[in-house]
A and B are shown apart, each in its own frame.
Chain A
Amino acid sequence: MVQPRPSVPLASPWEFPVATEHLLSNGMRVLLYHRPGQHITSTRLLVPSPIAVEPRALEGVAMMVARTMDEGTRSHTADEMAELFELSGIAYGAGYGARGLTLETDATATRSAQAWALITECLQEPAFPEEEVSRHVRQRLAEIEHEAASPDARAAKEWAATFYDQASRAARPAGGSADTVSLVHSADCARFHAQWVRPDRATVVVAGELDEARTLRDLDATLGSWQTEGAAPEDDSLAAVVVDAPTRVRFVHRPGAVQTEIYLGSFGPDRTVEGGWAPYPALGFALGGSPGARLDAVLREEKGYTYGFRAAFRPRDVGGTFIVSGSVRSDVTVEATALTLEILDAARGGFTAEETRAATDYIGKTAPARYATADAVADEALMLQAVGLGTDFVSSYLAQLATLTPDDLDAAWATWADEPRTIVLVGDAEAHADGIRALGIGEVTVVD
């Protein structure tokens, strides 16, 4: 006999783990998340110098600094550094995003102090050997070509270049473009590092099974010893200014492409938005967060045009975007574009109680599993740190989420629904650009 469907009891309330906060002797902030039972200790470090401070002619230098800080120091060659990391099984990575330089290590608990000593060496005394910098420049140039060949990366790049004003850094790739990256040399990396990579406003997040006193002692002996000279420079470069223009379409021509990548977006809120952040992840889920969400219910499950569409509000530190993306069979390019816009426009008609509950339940109840591991906790803490928030933000928006009604979702959607859209298509423009023009959604420009 088939068993009856079981009912589900209410889940117990959950809050994001709370950090203890400390200062190292050089002024660096420390956030410690003690996570019992975690065998790996995850460390995330942020130096908050926005990427907009890069010289315009040398864009990409910041990412080159991130990628070559470990490629040789005053004390060790590039090969020796790689051995020191790898003999201890320390996974090391560094990158440069909109809000600054990030370094990360993951290591077994017994080796985490060694990891901190090594990243201190990278931060304090990088040598930027010319042969290593030029090798990374060539690798970055190859990477740029690979990005241009990938439909989703190509679409995202074209979108930013159209949506943001050319005077602002966000209009161009964080890792720089071929014409700027190819000019980067060792001396440029050294100069950028000396000016902008500094401990005074940096934060380090450590998550794992921690002995707090010992962790602080080890951190102070390593990262706490990092010193720089002089005062931090100031910079007021434009980060992300949105072009004031009506809805427009850029069609990137790919002769004979079997699919068209659709990537559309508009201006949106950041996490400090009036009325609270909680409605926005819920809207993203209801529109494009599951096979039952509005976009996939039609484009995937009803029509079979796509493997899947995604929609999400993506906050920056100030302002943000709302992005919808997915790829469709080439011969339905026009119809799928029209349907996508219809579905978004229909959202003004309001969200149902069922949609609201499905979204808030999903986002709220998945939180314990999403933050189960040390690396997930550390990643979230660092990401929020980069926009000036603490992890109490997670607990507070989850609390607001539980109270949301369809009216809250409707009000949040209405606030941003009239923003003009930038629409990028990557596909066979010769076959479909005229059809897109005939939709009358805005000026259509075909680019190669």
Chain B
Amino acid sequence: MRPHYPIATHRLDNGLRVVISTDHSVPTVAVNLWVGVGSRHEQPGRTGLAHLFEHLMFQGSANVAEGEHFSALLAQGAQLNATTWVDRTNYFEVVPTGALELALWLEADRQGRLLPALTQENLDNQRDVVKEEKRQRYDNVPYGTAYAELTALVFPEGHPYHHTTIGSMEDLDAASLTDVRDFYTRHYRPDNTVVTLVGDVEPESGFALVAKYFDELENPAGAGDEVLAPPLPPLSDRPRFERTGDVPSDRLYLGFRLPVGGTQDFVRADLSFDVLAGLATSRLYRRLVRREQMVTHVSRNAGARVDGTSMGALVVDVADGVPVEQVEDVVGEELRRLATEPPTESEMAAVVADVERWWLQSLAQPDERADVISGNTLLYDDPEHLNTYLDEVVAVSSEDIAKSADTLLDPASAATVVYRREGK
């Protein structure tokens, strides 16, 4: 089945794009903003700044006290947060219908008038919080830095995606108030932002409310037109990183360069990963986990990126006593086999059925629907993506998958990271 959520779009004079999808089934509105700034916009020596900045957006603005953004919305029954990734920073809250206007007022204040509230004390405090976030999520857990190591192999030094969103401790320490102010002025602009409302609001009244609070925001001078990077060719030098340490089992990561997001080529590559490792009936799972039992777990991860090249990865937990190299050989065999033996009808049917179910299930949540709309509007100018994505998936043939595997997923095009358990 296909979703057909209503979509209404509007653009304010200052360039802010607004999308509204009405749904009266719950007395709430999901408010979702995507700002076109992520870690790919960071300068050398200032990695982690986009994410650190996101934290500062909760520390008060011209008319909102420190911590008040959170407390004022929580008290109205809002669920709210923000996240930062390579291409964007998103800010979101689900509010009872009556609190929509308050949410828009609070968002407009920090999106347009943050600088008067920015202090050295807030910067220092949130820098400490972010450093603890880095320790908790990356430095103090097994394999915590593997993804950063893999990403650095897939994208060359100097490429916008070479470094991670969390950044380095040194760069976080180096961030100054001036850096933070310049970053805000350069990137936080209505013409670089999408506001999406999903839920208990009609398009006309929603557009009027957004205009009431966001019309007065201006675009500071100084941001030029951005040039996106050209696509990178598949890797050819077999980059490899190995680490032996205190991890519970050997683990293998393979990373690949994939087509830019927003294209049918990316959808094909994404589904190729599903055929390999997305399901219990997928080729690698069936052979390595179920049949030959050389690994205890295999997973896949492919994420669309806007700046020329996306990335996909396979993650394999190697069973006790099995040499990592043997697993690498079998994975390589299966990657090559996908190019020469296209998926069967039932392999394709399973992948399509799985995508259909998870896509519909995630869109059932108004906040997720709003996030999909914001993202595809900001990065790919495609607000209807939530309604058309399943058509793109169904249009992929098994020959497409084989071709995608042939051009992108050759084992010689992989970046490899291996973690070995100490004392084995």
Once the chains bind, are A375 and B290 in contact (CB under 8 Å)?
Answer: no
A75 interface residue (CB < 8 Å to B): no
What's the tally of chain B residues with a CB closer than 8 Å to chain A? Answer: 82
B102 interface residue (CB < 8 Å to A): yes
Given B135, B349, B352, which contacts A259 in the complex, CB threshold below 8 Å? B135
Residue of B nearest to A7 (CB): B102
Once the chains bind, are B136 and A86 in contact (CB under 8 Å)?
Answer: no
Once the chains bind, are B67 and A142 in contact (CB under 8 Å)?
Answer: no
Which residues of B sit under 8 angstroms from A91, Cβ to Cβ?
Answer: 354, 357-358, 361
What's the least CB distance linking B361 to chain A, in Å? 5
Once the chains bind, are B75 and A307 in contact (CB under 8 Å)?
Answer: no
Say yes or no: A37-B25 contact (C-beta < 8 A), given A88-B353, A91-B357. Answer: yes
B279 interface residue (CB < 8 Å to A): yes
What's the least CB distance linking B333 to chain A, in Å? 19
Once the chains bind, are B319 and A78 in contact (CB under 8 Å)?
Answer: no
B261 interface residue (CB < 8 Å to A): no
B75-93 Cβ-contact flags toward A at 8 Å (1 or 0): 1111100000000000000
Once the chains bind, are B67 and A148 in contact (CB under 8 Å)?
Answer: no
What's the least CB distance linking B134 to chain A, in Å? 9
What's the least CB distance linking B218 to chain A, in Å? 13
What's the tally of chain A residues with a CB closer than 8 Å to chain B? Answer: 75
Residue of A nearest to B361 (CB): A40
Given B77, B94, B98, B125, which contacts A361 in the complex, CB threshold below 8 Å? B77
Once the chains bind, are B248 and A146 in contact (CB under 8 Å)?
Answer: yes
Which residues of A sit under 8 angstroms from B74, Cβ to Cβ?
Answer: 290, 292, 358, 361-362
Q: How far is the CA of A78 from the CA of B293 in the complex (A)?
A: 14
Residue of A nearest to B368 (CB): A373
B115 interface residue (CB < 8 Å to A): no
Binds B, one of A47-55, A221-229, A298-306, A435-443: A298-306
A231 interface residue (CB < 8 Å to B): no
Once the chains bind, are A372 and B293 in contact (CB under 8 Å)?
Answer: no
What's the least CB distance linking B12 to chain A, in Å? 14
Which residues of A sit under 8 angstroms from B108, Cβ to Cβ?
Answer: 3
Most buried by B among A89, A305, A327, A362: A89
Once the chains bind, are B364 and A292 in contact (CB under 8 Å)?
Answer: no
A84-120 Cβ-contact flags toward B at 8 Å (1 or 0): 0111111100000000000000111010000000000
Once the chains bind, are B125 and A301 in contact (CB under 8 Å)?
Answer: yes
Q: How far is the CA of A306 from the CA of B358 in the complex (A)?
A: 34
Which residues of B sit under 8 angstroms from A89, Cβ to Cβ?
Answer: 350, 352-357
Once the chains bind, are B129 and A306 in contact (CB under 8 Å)?
Answer: yes
Given B79, B141, B355, which contacts A366 in the complex, CB threshold below 8 Å? B79
Residue of B nearest to A364 (CB): B77
Once the chains bind, are A39 and B286 in contact (CB under 8 Å)?
Answer: no
Q: How far is the CA of A374 from the CA of B247 in the complex (A)?
A: 39
Once the chains bind, are B353 and A3 in contact (CB under 8 Å)?
Answer: no
B279-299 Cβ-contact flags toward A at 8 Å (1 or 0): 111000010011001001100
Which residues of A sit under 8 angstroms from B286, Cβ to Cβ?
Answer: 79
Say yes or no: A10-B98 contact (C-beta < 8 A), given A148-B248, A149-B247. Answer: yes
Given A90, A106, A142, which contacts B296 in the complex, CB threshold below 8 Å? A142
Which residues of A sit under 8 angstroms from B361, Cβ to Cβ?
Answer: 39-40, 91, 106, 373, 375
A1 interface residue (CB < 8 Å to B): yes
Q: How far is the CA of A53 from the CA of B94 in the complex (A)?
A: 43
Residue of A nearest to B249 (CB): A142
Given B63, B140, B357, which contacts A108 in the complex, CB threshold below 8 Å? B357
Given contacts A5-B63, A89-B352, 5 further A-B contacts (CB under 8 A): A10-B98, A145-B248, A259-B140, A291-B58, A306-B129
Q: 5 A-B pairs, CB-CB below 8 angstroms?
A: A5-B102, A108-B1, A149-B248, A327-B136, A375-B361
Ranked 8 nearest A-B pairs via Cβ: A365-B77, A304-B128, A89-B353, A145-B248, A6-B101, A89-B357, A307-B133, A86-B350
